[in-house]
A and B are shown apart, each in its own frame.
Chain A
């Protein structure tokens, strides 16, 4: 873990209540599913935000304005800098053999961003995941084209039916012939994913929790698993399907 003052390269609205911020990066190795922890002026605790994408020089994050902190964050302008801790969390292991030839990647709402970096890494390893994304409505949709530009088939569900299939991600996907799945989104969606996917299929779930430190010191975000207590910020946010206690 390191502490950096990252330069804000851009910060723009990309959908309703949804913003994309691009930060300078020093090339530190990152994994999909990891997050950064941001110190905002005037707020005591840092804000953990998942990494959407990165290269040698930049990190892209996407955040929803859900409270006073993220409301303040949307007003940050390019040219300024923010204090970040990174990389945090375990992230997805794209080298895991259990992923197989046909993984499905499922993201819902604020859980969509980390799935982009994951898909890019999976594609780079020669795999072609099927992508299923869920949003409340077309107004909150983002990055559909970016996923397609990776050469992937993307299915979309919206709760109000304003785009794609009306309903939830589980109304779109089927587990036929898939070898594994990755998912990030609201807890209800994660639970639905677990009950929809066939028992024998390997899956990786990314969880969200209110955090104190984000690096494993305070035990603020612990959860009970079949392998004992785990810190979402340290041994998570990605948990394996078989260890999760719903």
Chain B
């Protein structure tokens, strides 16, 4: 979308042009339905749908949510309809309200599950990118276990990449973006391992592990005790990690963490992000992505930016 005569918000993410860099983050946008009732979601760059596993899952016991200063903790535990449910029910619904490529967020509990789910979703016409979630903090096996060790991260990335390449002739070799966990000593080390293993892009960051305790009961607020912290409070953490990783890798980065206004988008891009995900903010203001997209051109003008893509990594 060209916001005005002078401003151009287009960016290119792994060979696909986005009208703007705004991408609702996985887990905060469902499969788009609730938001499509509120505004035309075709204005988005794309959106990343709810993390999908091989089988349908109920997820963790409740309470799953706790409030924090400028943020929240969730421990949903990957509740989702499973890959069959997504292909048979959700994707046909998405095609009715969204005419762009969607980002398919994939999770799993074993290497085989990641390979199977990613492979099947990549064969779907509407799917533009596979976003491999190796960073979910809310499941005990799998999830983050793959994302906190460079060798494991490389192993799952390599296996999925190989499977995607093997279905090239069927149109199933979609770009592979790996979503990384901030709950590590050096995220850029994992990032480099994924790049070498064949990742086409990276999403930084998933939620930061954290907890709250209910003083009345003396027990953790959420049933799973420790969950994933997100919201405006983690923006500086995300910016730092995107900045540091940008210096180590050549593949594009999708910045995620605490973004809730157009100024945050500009900061994230200057740190090194090509696409910018908006997460927890959608839950408080469901129109936030629309508002950010509408306000971006005036913020670009304010800072003398004509082409948004020109500022990617500009802070280095």
Contact = CB atoms under 8 A, between A and B. Distances in A.
B285 to A, nearest CB: 8
B289 to A, nearest CB: 12
Interface stretch (A4-12, A37-45, A95-103, A130-138): A37-45
A222 B68 CA distance: 21
Contacts of B283: 45, 212-213, 217-218
B65 A44 contact: no
B62 A210 contact: yes
B74 A218 contact: yes
Contacts, number: 90
A221 B65 contact: yes
B67 A43 contact: yes
A216 B74 contact: no
Interface string B273-289: 00000001011111100
Interface of B: 27-30, 34-35, 37-38, 50, 58-59, 62-72, 74, 76, 79, 221, 231-232, 280, 282-287
A210 B79 contact: no
Given A1-B37, A43-B67, A212 B62 contact: no
Nearest to B78: A219
Nearest to A3: B287
A64 interface: no
Contacts of B232: 44
Interface string A140-176: 0000000000000000000000000000000000000
B286 A219 contact: no
A210 B63 CA distance: 6
B63 A209 contact: yes
B64 A44 contact: no
B277 to A, nearest CB: 14
B67 A217 contact: no
A44 B67 contact: yes
Interface centre among B35, B283, B286 (most CB of A within 10 A): B283
8 contacts: A39-B284, A44-B69, A46-B284, A217-B34, A217-B35, A219-B59, A222-B59, A224-B58
Interface centre among B50, B71, B79, B221 (most CB of A within 10 A): B79
A38 B162 CA distance: 48
B37 A210 contact: no
A217 B35 CA distance: 8
Interface residues of A, number: 26
A45 B65 contact: yes
B284 A45 contact: yes
B286 A215 contact: yes
B206 to A, nearest CB: 15
A220 B58 contact: no
B34 A45 contact: no
Nearest to B35: A217
B282 A217 contact: yes
Interface in A185-220: 209-213, 215-220
Given A44-B71, A222-B59, A224-B58, A215 B34 contact: yes
A218 B63 CA distance: 13
B67 A220 contact: no
Contacts of A45: 65, 67, 72, 283-284
Contacts of A3: 285-287
A43 B70 CA distance: 7
